[in-house]
Amino acid sequence: MSLPYICKRCLDTNSQKSFSELPGGHQCSKCIDQYTAFKWKTLSGEIMKTHLCFNCAQKSSACQVCGLDVVYFIPVELRDRTLKIITLEGGDINDNGLVRKIMDLVREEVKS
């Protein structure tokens, strides 16, 4: 069984064995393809379900559940725009420390 592509926040479970495939075809909310959906229970008892197909999620590094970037927890469009601005300003987007710092600021802005 392949595992879903999800962020740590949505994962929130102590065992990968707790994933179960949802029966029947499910439609991806982005490309509207049929895909294998998963559900699982988090440590806090919440039932989580995937909404995006694996391909869409992986292609844009987005979580299959919340659709946010799996590393920085911000919307992927915002992440891409931010990376573009960093590049335009002469920043190195392969500089993980720099990118992380900026994404942290962006995430704080999104929250407030």
Q: Which residues bind Zn ion (CB under 5 A)?
A: 7, 10, 28, 30-31, 53, 56, 63, 65-66
Residue 23 CB, nearest approach to Zn ion (Å):
19
Contacts of 93 (CB under 8 A, 6+ apart): 83, 86, 87, 99
Least separation in angstroms between CB 10 and Zn ion: 3
The least distance separating Zn ion from the CB of residue 20, rounded to whole angstroms, comes to 18
Q: Which is nearer to Zn ion, 10 or 99 (CB)?
A: 10
Q: Which is nearer to Zn ion, 22 or 98 (CB)?
A: 22
Long-range contacts of residues 38-44, Cβ cutoff 8 Å, at least 24 apart: 38/3, 38/4, 38/64, 40/13, 41/13, 42/10, 42/11, 42/12, 42/13, 43/12, 43/13, 43/14, 44/12
Query: Least distance (Å) from Zn ion to the CB of residue 31?
Result: 3
Nearer to Zn ion, 46 or 95 (CB): 46
CB-wise, 28 or 102, nearer to Zn ion? 28
Instruction: Round to whole Å and give the CA distance between 18 and 66.
Output: 19
